[in-house]
Amino acid sequence: MPLQDKVDQRVKLIADAREFLSECEKDHEGLTADETARFNKMHDDADTLKAEIDDLAAEEKSAADRV
C-alpha cells in the first residue's frame, strides 16, 4: 500500500476514534468496558499504522538518497 494511502487510513481511523469517543461520552458518563476495548483497539491500530508509515517513509528516503 502506498505511503499516502496509509497516512489517509490513519487520519480516518483517528477521526473515527474521536467521533466514537464523543458519541459514547454524549450517551453516558465514561466508557463501558466494551467501549474502552474498542477505543483502545482503534488507538493500537493507529499506532501500528504510524510505525508502518515511518518505515515506508524511511525506505522512500533511502531510495531517494541512492539516486
Check if the beta carbon of residue 37 is closer than 8 Å to that of residue 17.
no
pTM of the model: 0.85
Q: What is the pLDDT of residue 67?
A: 78
Check if the beta carbon of residue 46 is closer than 8 Å to that of residue 14.
yes
User: Which residues, including other chains, have CB under 8 Å from residue 39's CB and lie 6 or more apart?
Assistant: 17, 20, 21, 24, 31
CB hemisphere CA count around 32 (13 angstroms):
8
14-60: pLDDT as tens digits: 999 999 999 998 888 889 999 999 999 999 999 999 999 999 999 99
Q: Is the pLDDT of residue 1 over 90?
A: no
5-19: pLDDT as tens digits: 999 999 999 999 999
**CA-CA-CA-CA dihedral for 55, 56, 60, 65, to nearest 10:** 0
